[in-house]
Amino acid sequence: MPVGVPKVPPMPLEPDESEINNQKKPKQGFLEKSIKFPKRLAAEKELIDEEENKVENEEEKKVENEEVVEEEVVEEEVVYKEVEVVEEKVEKKKKEKDGEEEEENEEEEEWVDLYERLYRDRALFLFKDLDKELANTIVGLMVFLNLEDNTKEQFLFINSPGGSLVYGIAVHDVSRSVRPDVHTLGMGVAASMAAFILSGGAQTKRLAFPHVRVMIHQPTCVFPKDSAPVDVGMDGEEVTKLRNYVVSHYAQRSRRSVSMVIADLKKNTYMTPTEARTYGIVDSIAADWEAY
């Protein structure tokens, strides 16, 4: 290329008329696709929004149900607590009422408990005229205490003017029949059948208090005025048998002859504790604390 001549760029070729038409006209269906696309997005968005609303509604309902359940539970707990409080009050009142009744019963049975405690300690009492009721009580207690524990000795305290011959012999026989020894303790006065029971205690365990008065005499019998002679004779024979039993008992214990005992029983024979010991009705005399 010769020097100094400028380089001229080539001239562009003129575009073909068909190409120009193709560039200016959009492809067929493009506008339709561009319009349909946002409509589909909007529909999908609506579906998504509806599903989200449904989920939110379900969650709200679930929360509401849970709140209702919690409220019901709280109400039930409150009701249960109120019921428990009422039951506690009722039980407390019931216990207070039972305690008051027990205190009243204890106050009413105070003396009964005292004698029951003495009976449990094997302490029995002949402190009045010996009749059927008292004899049955003493006999029943002796037998019961013997069955409960036949190793514990029993103590019969005597302060009585006497009583029925038949009932006295019953107490005398039982006191000699039970397994444990029966101590007899005379105080105050031990007369007639009381002296007989006093002398029937276990050997070496018959005690007289320092100021006791002992009296022995023969049994007496009263017959009705309208009784037939045959009945009087039969009753007299029975009384004689009982009298002979009493005489033989005193003769055995006092080591005296039967004639001497009969002579003593014909009258009221009073004895001091020392004389009663000499006669064999008691074995010993309790210590007199005034002498010390």
Query: pLDDT tens for residues 59-114?
Result: 777 777 776 667 766 677 776 777 787 788 888 878 777 777 777 666 555 555 67
Q: Which two tokens stand for residue 80?
A: 């249960």
Burial of 239 (0-12, 13-18, 19+ CB in 10 A): middle
Query: SS3 string of 34-74?
Result: HHHHHHHHHHHHHHHHHHHHHHHHHHHHHHHHHHHHHHHHH
> Is residue 77, in this structure, part of any structural domain at all?
yes
Percentage of residues in the chain with pLDDT exceeding 70?
A: 70
Nearest C-alpha neighbor of 49 from the set 59, 37, 57, 39: 57
Whether 29 has a pLDDT exceeding 80, the answer reads no
Q: What is the pLDDT of residue 31?
A: 46
91 and 177 fall within a common domain: no
Whether 139 has a pLDDT exceeding 50, the answer reads yes
CA-to-CA distance for 260 and 52, rounded, in angstroms? 131
98 and 118 fall within a common domain: no
> Is residue 119, in this structure, part of any structural domain at all?
yes
> Is residue 15, in this structure, part of any structural domain at all?
no
54 and 141 fall within a common domain: no
> Is residue 126, in this structure, part of any structural domain at all?
yes
Q: What is the pLDDT of residue 30?
A: 46
- Among the listed ranges 56-60, 181-185, 187-191, which one has the minimum average pLDDT value? 56-60
272 and 169 fall within a common domain: yes
Q: Annotated catalytic, 192? A: yes
- Per the model's pLDDT, the better-predicted residue between 197 and 86 turns out to be 197
- Per the model's pLDDT, the better-predicted residue between 105 and 144 turns out to be 144
Q: In terms of residue numbers, what domain contains 71?
A: 27-108
Mean pLDDT, rounded, of the chain: 80
- Among the listed ranges 18-32, 52-66, 225-239, 267-281, which one has the minimum average pLDDT value? 18-32
Percentage of residues in the chain with pLDDT exceeding 90?
A: 47
276 and 136 fall within a common domain: yes
Of 91, 108, 125, which closes a domain?
108
206 and 219 fall within a common domain: yes
66 and 211 fall within a common domain: no
Whether 224 has a pLDDT exceeding 60, the answer reads yes
Q: Are 166 and 145 in contact (CB under 8 A)?
A: no
104 and 175 fall within a common domain: no
260 and 149 fall within a common domain: yes
Computed from CA positions of residues 30, 35, 38, 40, in that sequence, does the dihedral angle turn out positive or negative?
negative
The total of structural domains in the chain comes to 2
- At residue 238 the predicted structure's pLDDT band, cuts being 50, 70 and 90, is confident
Q: Are 186 and 210 in contact (CB under 8 A)?
A: no
Q: Are 195 and 216 in contact (CB under 8 A)?
A: yes
> Is residue 204, in this structure, part of any structural domain at all?
yes
Q: What is the pLDDT of residue 156?
A: 96
Q: Which residue among 192, 199, 249, 259 is the active-site one?
A: 192
Average pLDDT over residues 135-150: 94
C-beta neighbour count of 199 within 10 angstroms: 26
81 and 128 fall within a common domain: no
Average pLDDT over residues 248-268: 92
**Phi, psi at residue 208, to the nearest 5°?**
-115, 130
Average pLDDT over residues 123-148: 94
CA-to-CA distance for 176 and 273, rounded, in angstroms? 23
> Is residue 203, in this structure, part of any structural domain at all?
yes
Q: What is the pLDDT of residue 247?
A: 94
For β-strands 182-191 and 206-208, DSSP reports them as parallel
Q: How far apart are the first and last CA of the chain?
A: 176
Q: Are 250 and 261 in contact (CB under 8 A)?
A: yes
Of 75, 108, 141, which closes a domain?
108
> Is residue 189, in this structure, part of any structural domain at all?
yes
49 and 142 fall within a common domain: no
> Is residue 97, in this structure, part of any structural domain at all?
yes
CA-to-CA distance for 60 and 216, rounded, in angstroms? 109
233 and 271 fall within a common domain: yes
Burial of 126 (0-12, 13-18, 19+ CB in 10 A): buried
Average pLDDT over residues 9-21: 53
Of 81, 108, 135, which closes a domain?
108
Q: Annotated catalytic, 175? A: no
CA-to-CA distance for 238 and 54, rounded, in angstroms? 117
CATH number of the domain encompassing residue 150: 3.90.226.10
Whether 179 has a pLDDT exceeding 80, the answer reads yes
Q: Which two tokens stand for residue 283?
A: 């074995």
